[in-house]
Amino acid sequence: MIQPMKIISGEELVALIPQKPPFVLISSLLRVTEDNCTTTFEIPENHVLCTHHKLQASGLIENMAQTCAAKLGYEYNLLGKPMPIGFIGDVRDFLCSELPAAGTLISTEIKIDNRVFDVTVISGKVFLEGREIASCKMKVFIEESKQ
Partner 1 sequence: MSNEQIIAEINRFLSEEFEVDASKITPEATLKETLELDSLDYVDLVVILEGNFGIKVKQEDFVGIRTFQDLHNYVISKQNTTAA
Residues that bind partner 1 (CB under 8 A): 89-90, 113-114, 116-117, 119, 121, 139
User: Which is nearer to partner 1, 90 or 129 (by Cβ)?
Assistant: 90
User: Which is nearer to partner 1, 5 or 116 (by Cβ)?
Assistant: 116
User: Which is nearer to partner 1, 48 or 115 (by Cβ)?
Assistant: 115
The distance of closest approach from Cβ of residue 10 to partner 1 in the complex, given in angstroms and rounded to an integer, is 35
A 10 A CB-CB count for 57 gives 15
CA distance 69 to 41: 14
The distance of closest approach from Cβ of residue 64 to partner 1 in the complex, given in angstroms and rounded to an integer, is 17
The distance of closest approach from Cβ of residue 124 to partner 1 in the complex, given in angstroms and rounded to an integer, is 17
